[in-house]
Structure 1
Amino acid sequence: MSDVVVIGGGTGLSTLGRVLKKLPINLTFIVTITDDGGSSGRLREDLGMPPPGDIRNNLLALADDENLLAKVFSYRFKSDKLLRHSLGNLILAGLTEMEGSFPEAVAAASKLLRIRGIVLPVADALIHLVGKFDDGTILKGETNITKKGCAPKELRLDRPVKALPEVVEAIEKADYIILGPGSLFTSIISNFLVDGVVEAIQKSHGEKVYMSNLMTQPGETRDFTLKQHVFAVEKYAGVKLDRIFWVNLSSIEKREPEIFENYRKSGAVPVENDMAGDSRIVKIEDFEEKQLEINGKKLVLRHSEKSIIKIAKILGIME
C-alpha cells in the first residue's frame, strides 16, 4: 500500500480525508497548530495548549462513520456561558491534561474515534504566525494577519519549534506528499515554518502534489492566480512541485451564476489557471452540483468525492 501524507489544516483537509480514508492506503494527516481564533483560540490562551480545532476537524473526517463519539465530538454548545465551545475541543483539552501532552491526547482521541489513518499535530508547542507586509506592517497572530486584507510578504513563526519526530518520519518515507487544499498561508505554509518539515519534504523521494483551492480567499489570497499560489508553496517548501491539480469551474459558473456572485461580494473569485502551458498541471473538469453544500444560508463550493477519486487514480494511489 502507498504511504500518503497530507499537509495542511482547516476544512480543505477534512474534505479530502472523508474520501481518502476509504482507499487502501497508509494515510497520515499533518495538521497546523497556529489557529488563534474562536474556541481554539480561547483554549490555547486559557489552558496553554496547542489549538485543537483543526485537529478535531481532521479526526472527525477520518473517524468511523458509525462511531457515536464522532457525533459527540462534533457538538458545539449554543450557550454563551460555555463560550460556544466545540465539545470535541473540550474533550481534547481534557485528554491533554490526562495524557500529559497534546500529541498523546490526539493519539487517545484517534483510538476513541477509531480513525482510519493517523492525525498528527505538526509540533507540540504554542506558536503564533508573524506576517510582514509590503507597507512595512508586522502583525502577530493568524487572525490579525488575515484581517489585514492582503497576502503577507514574509511569514514566520514567533519562535523556533521542532516538528514531532513522527511527522518527520512520515514525510520522509511518503510515496505521495499532498499539499492542500486549504488556506495558503495559514493552513499549508504555516506547517513549513516548523523546523524539520521542509528538510523532510526535500529529503523525501515521494511525489510532491499541490491541490489548488477552488476560490481565492479574501484577506489571504485576494486575486491570487494559480501561478501565485504555486510560487508561494514552492518558495516556502523549498521544492519544485511534481503535480498540480486545478479544478475548472467555468461550466458550473454558467449554470449557477448567483453562487459566484455571492463569492465576489465577499472578495473571492475562482482561482485563474495562468499556467496552461505547464506540463505539471492536471485540469479537473467534472465538478458536479452535488458539490454544493449548505453552510448556514450560504451555498459554498467544495471538492467532490468524484473529483478526489479521479485525482487519486491519476496519481496512481488507487487502481
Structure 2
Amino acid sequence: MKVVAIGGGTGLSTLLKGLKHFPVFEVTAVVSVTDEGGSSGKLRKELNVPPPGDVRNNIVALAEDENLLAKLMNYRFSEGSLKGHSLGNLIIAALTKIEGSFSEAIKTLEKVLALKGRVLPVSEEHARLVAKFDDGEEVIGEMNIVKKGKKIEEVRLDKPIKALPEVIEAISEAEMIIFGPGSLYTSIITNVLVDGVRESLATSKAKKIYVCNLMTQPGETKGYRVSDHVKELEKYLGKSVDFVIINTRKPSSEVLESYKNEGSDFVEIDVENLQNVVLAEPLLIEIVDPSDGRKKVRHDPLKLASLIERISRW
C-alpha cells in the first residue's frame, strides 16, 4: 500500500519509526520547509538552503540501522563555531551544494543509508509562515508566531511556492494519507499551503487519517480539544478526514506538571464533537530526551503503526 505521511518534527519521525516495520507499506514522507529555529534556521539564512532539520529527523527514522545512524546524524556540536549545529544538518546542507538541489541531496543520502521509504521536502522554494491572530495582528516567521502566544485565526505563506512534482505524484498515487502527529500549524498545515498540495489532496481518493497530538502547544494550540485540531486541519484541506486517531493515556503527574509549567496540557478528548471515524487507544509513552535529560511524551511507534495497518485493511 502506498502511504504518504505529511508533517515534520519529532511527531512524523515517530510515526515513520513504526511504519518501516510493516512491509505492506510503501512510505513517502512529505516534510515542511518553513522551519526557522535552531541549526536549521541558521543554515537556511546563511547558506540559502531549505531547513534540513525535519528532513534529517525523518531520514534517521526510516534508516536501516536507526540507532547508530541517529547518534551520528543527530550529533550536535556544543562548542566552537559549529555550536548548536547537528552533523546531519551540515551533511544535508553540503550535499545540497554538491548536488545542486535539496531534493537531489536527499536522494543521494537515501541511497547511501538504504532507507525503508523516502523523504521529500514539500518544495525546493523558500517561504515563511504568516499568522493572523484573533486581535488582527499579523506576524511573520514560525519562531515569532509561537513567541506571541496569541490565538491563531489564520495562517498563510508570505509568498506562493510550488510543490515538488514528486510530492504531487506521491499524493495522487497514494492509497492512504496520514497527517501528523506534529505541530498543527507549523508542521502539518504549512504543507497544505504550498501550491498544488491542497488541490492534489482534494482529488485524492486515498483514506485520510489525522493523528492528533498528545499535548497542546503553547503559542500554537493552547486550549485546543481534539475536535479543534480536526476542525482547523479540515478548514485548510477543504474537506473532511476519514479517520481520527486519539491517544487516551494521560502522562504521569510528574510529566504532566512539567508540561504545564511550559504552558502545555493534555489534549481534551471530545469524541462527541467529531463526525469522523474515531480510533481511541492508549498510545502515549514517556521517554527521556537525551538533549536535556527531561521526560517527554511520544506516541508509541509500533502501536501507532499497528493501528494504521488495521485501518488499511478496512
Distance 2:246 2:29 in 1: 21
With over 3 angstroms needed to count, the CA separation of the structure-2 counterparts of 1:284 and 1:80, relative to structure 1, is: farther
Shift of 1:83: 2.9
Shift of 1:281: 4.1
Shift of 1:161: 0.6
Tell me whether 1:140 sits opposite 2:133 in the alignment.
no
* 1:309 aligned residue (301, 305, 308): 305
Shift of 1:214: 0.7
Figure out how many residues of one structure are paired with residues of the other and give that number: 311
- The root-mean-square deviation of aligned C-alpha atoms, in Å, is 1.7
Residue 113 (structure 1) aligns with: 113
| Conserved 8 A contact 2:134-2:152 | yes
Distance 2:69 2:300 in 1: 25
| Conserved 8 A contact 2:226-2:270 | yes
Tell me whether 1:293 sits opposite 2:287 in the alignment.
yes
- Give runs of aligned pairs for residues 136-175 of structure 1, distance below 5 A: 136-175=136-175
With over 3 angstroms needed to count, the CA separation of the structure-2 counterparts of 1:39 and 1:88, relative to structure 1, is: same
Distance 2:83 2:313 in 1: 42
Residue 53 (structure 1) aligns with: 53
**Residue deviations 1:173-218 (CA, integer Å, cap 9, x gap):** 1110000000000000000110000011111100111000011111
Residue 31 (structure 2) aligns with: 31
Shift of 1:129: 0.5
- Give runs of aligned pairs for residues 6-155 of structure 1, distance below 5 A: 6-24=5-23, 25-65=25-65, 69-155=69-155
Shift of 1:12: 0.1
- Percent identity (aligned): 48
Runs (4+) off by over 2 Å: 66-72, 275-288
Normalising by structure 2, report the TM-score. 0.94
Residue 209 of structure 2 aligns to a residue in which SS?
Answer: strand
Residue 296 of structure 2 aligns to a residue in which SS?
Answer: strand
Unaligned ranges ≥5, structure 2: none
* 1:257 aligned residue (253, 259, 273): 253
Shift of 1:81: 1.9
Deviates further, 204-213 or 148-157: 148-157
**Residue deviations 1:135-167 (CA, integer Å, cap 9, x gap):** 121111110011111342111111101101100
Shift of 1:316: 2.3
With over 3 angstroms needed to count, the CA separation of the structure-2 counterparts of 1:182 and 1:66, relative to structure 1, is: closer
Letter in 2 for 1:144: N
With over 3 angstroms needed to count, the CA separation of the structure-2 counterparts of 1:265 and 1:281, relative to structure 1, is: farther
Distance 2:53 2:92 in 1: 9
- Give runs of aligned pairs for residues 173-188 of structure 1, distance below 5 A: 173-188=173-188
Distance 2:66 2:192 in 1: 34
Distance 1:287 1:156 in 2: 32
| Conserved 8 A contact 2:63-2:69 | no
Letter in 1 for 2:183: S
Distance 2:141 2:63 in 1: 30
| Conserved 8 A contact 2:181-2:212 | yes
Distance 2:308 2:301 in 1: 11
Deviates further, 221-230 or 309-318: 309-318
Unaligned ranges ≥5, structure 1: none
| Conserved 8 A contact 2:60-2:69 | no
Residue 244 of structure 1 aligns to a residue in which SS?
Answer: strand
Residue 278 (structure 2) aligns with: 282
Distance 1:83 1:77 in 2: 5
Letter in 2 for 1:111: K
Deviates further, 301-310 or 257-266: 301-310
| Conserved 8 A contact 1:67-1:113 | no
